[in-house]
Structure 1
């Protein structure tokens, strides 16, 4: 957010004594780092990084409160000319608890009676903040107040409003053309400002095009309300409308500022546009204040890591605007209306340390107590599972734990209703359900790889899935596996063929699953299954193999060209030959070539078997010949013959 130095100094005169570098360092020490400094309209403007929970700091007044608390200096009093309230000129009805307070006023604009439009100073202020004046005093004053004091306001063309103004939930299917010219279809969860003809604004987000202020506007109805932050955030996200107003209401505006902002806006319109006040009134009342938060001295010391008195804490919290009542071993702090983020004792302790200065927190290494704990058996099982699948040629993937309702319904188990797994405030519909299955995400990842030309895709994921339970979502680790494409084809012994369901059943058997899970088709040529990790056999105790030193003597190789039947099993032949050879001398036995030709006897093929021997001494030719003869004899016992 942009902060103009001159405007900040107007809120806290003590800031004028700091140069730009000192001010940047001070803000960073308060937890508001400055990302950059720009020179605009003859002065410096700071780009300040503000965290999402500090909506109160998203204005010059809010930032000035922080600087004043740090420096222990007073703020410029905020005392707008009082506006006398009377009977409503336009009825206002609040039909939703999401808007408990609505302050408004009705004015007639008389630019010819002393009003010169938006002042040059206000236009320069808006330009310095990377905004632009519209040339309409009601609009420019609302924008200027938002950046200066942080409370969004809005001006309607009063002559375009039909009847009473109502703050209510939208009727599903209602239409509203917003100020950006987009026609939006509303949902029942949207909070709207409406007249008797229908919605005229999305509450806390954006006004409607039908009641906007133009150069022809002669009467304006002002809005300065307080809206529930969750409602505003959800509405802005649903309609992809992220405005200055929604950013502030969505992060928690100050409800006590609603009437003050209305009075400030009235004063500016009187000064800028020669406006005549026809009436001002407020519907509803301030929401109930937050309960006081108790901070014990023991907790303060524990968080600080060193002795810290309640008197120091009370002084710091008072500077931040809290009403503090101190006791012998604890204090009770009533947070100010603009600090909705102070809700638990930890918040108070952190604020004390922040204002005191992070540089005063001592650096202490945490104590290490006791021997390292053994790894969890569940973790060891998941690690062994991932290693086994990696050895089988599968690639581990990580996907999002949230999916769309449609993706969840495609593969979730029957009876696992999504209602118990649906988020109340999701990032979007595509991330609104805690997944009940891994197959949807694996299917999407596998299809993406196949579209990119991958010949064969082998993916697996070991991650939590969720089921709906009476106490909320229940988590369990699940194995999901997807396999598709073309397998083999790299050499003569493994001809190319498409992946089949039987391949996945073989993987399930290899993993030791007692009950083979259902193999499901995920798409053309793509299959998958999933199973609870708890159903897999537990790995045994770790066995450390005995190291066998490498021989320093050369190995000896011999080839046997054998004629075997076409139906001969290679596994049976290799097993018989290995059994006839000394285990400590045989290093390798494998078939390195297969030859089939009409020149061979009918029904026969030729296998070239390569044997490699090595021991920790020099081998004699006679003993190697004896071993080869033993291997040949074992092969001949199965019907093989030496090819000459």
Structure 2
């Protein structure tokens, strides 16, 4: 048997650490007086350090066996520990650099928007998932995805492709949650992810070049499943439905400060071949527009796919293009301009319509705002009813329209006239009828 030992004080070529007195004062928050210097040198010497005085600086060589002493911060912390933390006064640290959200450069602005989006998603009740940037070709194929960015030397078959979408990883997370959950009840799944996906720009560059031929596209995605509420009596929980998921999406957009977002039925989608859209149930999915650009899709995982992967419960998924939605977010440091509440009260009118089921809420709302301007400021659907006496293939929709003028009180005749124009437009363009 052999043994290795080191003599106390042996340096074995340890590098010297230069420390100036001003640094000690800033880092520890104490005045570097001659008495304090003598105490510091004594402590370092007892730690088998070699200390040389070079005027304003101290040159310290740690012993070879103290591999943890490689920075001047390490030496300062050793001195503070030996003196006693209770003898070092508590002071507020001085910020010597500009905070990143206010730095103004493109990278800082982008990072600020990403953190704001993560915070908004967490505030809606979602938890962030952290998955690998790699996945398996077989798993992608099961979900209808194709990756154009293979890994040259993968760790395994499950890590042979760079992810073209965040959805496969979140679906895998849901399967793992179901598999590892004990009990007959279905677990609550509330997950999101915000990070890059990878796509080939063409021919892959040789390994000796910096350019790989792969570009990053940031995405934000979510996966929801289980009861509507996380607690309470089992009979009162209820399962998530499309309205719940749409509410989560709208809450995220609102909390992130997005404006100009529209949600339309997937039947009106511009790109029917999008792999995320094809993964969704055609009757329970939607397209999200950010301005005039397609931001993404969300909806219920297609029943055929759900059976194929042996999903234990309905799974709601969605994915949005980060660049499309981040353009509509307020920038870090941007000052919001608020308008005072109207001094005069608004007037509200409720309408009960009977329309074909394929008529979207967006068409009803946009029609009301179009026909009722300039007095109609807000329109919203607040109730939907299906069943007798509403005819088959029709649905009853309750709509509230809010009228006001900032400079004067409105007369009943004005809101009646605006309401008549709205009803006429609904009848003419949507084939709606007022429900008696």
TM-score after normalising by structure 2: 0.52
Paired residue for 1:459, among 161, 174, 191? 191
The 5-angstrom pairing of residues 84-233 of structure 1 reads 102=2, 225-226=3-4
Structure 2 contact 377–403 (Cα < 8 Å) conserved: yes
Q: Equivalents in 2 of 1:337, 1:573: separation in Å? A: 77
Paired residue for 1:501, among 279, 297, 302? 279
Structure 2 contact 11–62 (Cα < 8 Å) conserved: no
Q: Any idea what the Cα deviations from partners look like across 1:295-343, whole Å, max 9, x if unmatched?
A: 4444555545422556554433222334555555555555446533333
Structure 2 contact 135–162 (Cα < 8 Å) conserved: no
Q: Equivalents in 2 of 1:534, 1:641: separation in Å? A: 41
Aligned-residue offset at 1:478: 4.2
Aligned residue number for residue 31 of structure 2:
306
Q: Equivalents in 2 of 1:386, 1:535: separation in Å? A: 16
- Stretches of structure 2 lacking an aligned partner (at least 5 in a row): 141-146, 200-206, 226-238, 248-276
- Would you say 1:395 and 2:135 are equivalent positions? no
Aligned residue number for residue 174 of structure 2:
446
- Would you say 1:538 and 2:327 are equivalent positions? yes
Aligned-residue offset at 1:382: 1.7
Q: Any idea what the Cα deviations from partners look like across 1:589-614, whole Å, max 9, x if unmatched?
A: 647455666996xx884746555555
- Would you say 1:488 and 2:231 are equivalent positions? no
Paired residue for 1:549, among 323, 342, 354? 342
Cα distance change on mapping 1:370 and 1:417 into 2, 3 Å: closer
Structure 1 contact 290–334 (Cα < 8 Å) conserved: no
Paired residue for 1:342, among 69, 85, 92? 69
Q: Any idea what the Cα deviations from partners look like across 1:71-116, whole Å, max 9, x if unmatched?
A: xxxxxxxxxxxxxxxxxxxxx6xxxxxxxxx2xxxxxxxxxxxxxx
Paired residue for 2:14, among 262, 271, 291? 291
Structure 1 contact 501–527 (Cα < 8 Å) conserved: no
Aligned-residue offset at 1:352: 3.7
Structure 2 contact 196–217 (Cα < 8 Å) conserved: yes
Q: Equivalents in 1 of 2:197, 2:404: separation in Å? A: 52
Structure 1 contact 381–538 (Cα < 8 Å) conserved: no
Larger radius of gyration: 1
Q: Equivalents in 1 of 2:175, 2:62: separation in Å? A: 53
Counterpart secondary structure, 2:12:
coil
Q: Equivalents in 1 of 2:362, 2:134: separation in Å? A: 49
Structure 2 contact 379–401 (Cα < 8 Å) conserved: yes
Aligned-residue offset at 1:586: 6.1
Q: Any idea what the Cα deviations from partners look like across 1:146-186, whole Å, max 9, x if unmatched?
A: xxxxxxxxxxxxxxxxxxxxxxxxxxxxxxxxxxxxxxxxx
Structure 2 contact 194–220 (Cα < 8 Å) conserved: yes
Cα distance change on mapping 1:292 and 1:416 into 2, 3 Å: same
Structure 1 contact 512–537 (Cα < 8 Å) conserved: no
Cα distance change on mapping 1:370 and 1:448 into 2, 3 Å: closer
RMSD over aligned Cα atoms: 5.8
State the 4+ residue runs in structure 1 displaced beyond 6 angstroms.
369-372, 387-391, 404-413, 464-471, 474-477, 511-517, 519-522, 527-532, 616-619
Aligned-residue offset at 1:463: 4.5
Q: Equivalents in 2 of 1:570, 1:530: separation in Å? A: 22
Aligned-residue offset at 1:378: 0.5
Aligned pairs, number: 339
Aligned residue number for residue 149 of structure 2:
414
Q: Equivalents in 2 of 1:294, 1:337: separation in Å? A: 13
- Would you say 1:377 and 2:109 are equivalent positions? yes
Q: Any idea what the Cα deviations from partners look like across 1:491-550, whole Å, max 9, x if unmatched?
A: 9xx9xxxx9624799567559877979x99794455868788567653466553423336
Aligned residue number for residue 633 of structure 1:
424
Aligned-residue offset at 1:461: 1.7
Structure 2 contact 127–191 (Cα < 8 Å) conserved: yes
- Stretches of structure 1 lacking an aligned partner (at least 5 in a row): 1-91, 93-101, 103-224, 227-253, 258-286, 423-428
Structure 1 contact 460–481 (Cα < 8 Å) conserved: yes
Aligned-residue offset at 1:344: 3.8
Structure 1 contact 558–611 (Cα < 8 Å) conserved: yes
